Structure 1
Amino acid sequence: MPVVRIFRRYTESPKPGSDSPEWEFEVRPRRAVRTAWAVAVLIVAGFAAAGIWLRSGSTGVNFRVADQIAMIGIGLLGAGAVLLLTRPRVRVGADGVCVRNILGDNAFAWDYIRGVSFPDGKSWARLELVDDDYVPMLAIRSNDKEHAARAMARLRELGGKYSGRQ
């Protein structure tokens, strides 16, 4: 899958006086972020409670303080993994579109973008590329309803402005 990427400096936030592009539009999911934070708090609270009360019963197993700390640590790691779901975002500017999903981000110049779509029955939008490939945009999710519709409209508007193909 040949993907043309804009250099890494274009995916970072612009700094005053730098030559990095300014993003005209940025979108992040709403409901998924709130849900992820709630789940992360519940995971930490559950594992912390389990860790604290680990030595309170007589189960025949000799738990130590290190086991309690490990239990809380596992909860923190689990919460951190859930919070990765808060990372997705889409940025749009004159140079192209930058899509950040859970683990990485890719920037695409307008020359390599064919359009954006929201296929029926799918949970998130996707960026259509000229080589018949696509990139899922986890930041624009169907469960955000009006927020997602406004984001798609703005993305199409900016695409028409910069590429003339949207």
Structure 2
Amino acid sequence: MLDTTALLDQIVPASEAAAVAYGVSVLTRTQDEAANATVRLGQRLIGRLLNRDADTAPDSDPVRTVVVRLAEAGADPDVLALRRAELRIALRTALTDTPGLAEELSVLLPTPPPPPAVHAEGERSVAVGGDNSGSISTGDGAGGAPRQ
């Protein structure tokens, strides 16, 4: 099972870029050679999302409604933030309610870079391959809390 939150973190920015760049026409526009990769990816994602259920009336699709609202939001940062949140919620609902959709969309996404390679050598060595927000301590009697 794919991580819905991680998938949303990749889908939302691309979908938003397509909606903002092309407005309502993103719903029917074919790929434009001059568009950047993020907008083209957003177009493919939105196209797949909107064509997932041929029996649904187009105007009743929550994703379509939110994409239109985002495209019409203008430049007000508060309205854009609200529309982004609405898009994320609509996409989360679509991903959780439609079996196989997450896997279909993940195929369209670029392969994430591999995690950084790390190596620790020697007694009590430590290697961190990503972010660390806590203490790292080694040695005899290491308690994890800094001394005061």
Report the TM-score when normalising by structure 1: 0.27
More strand by share: 1
TM-score by length of 2: 0.29
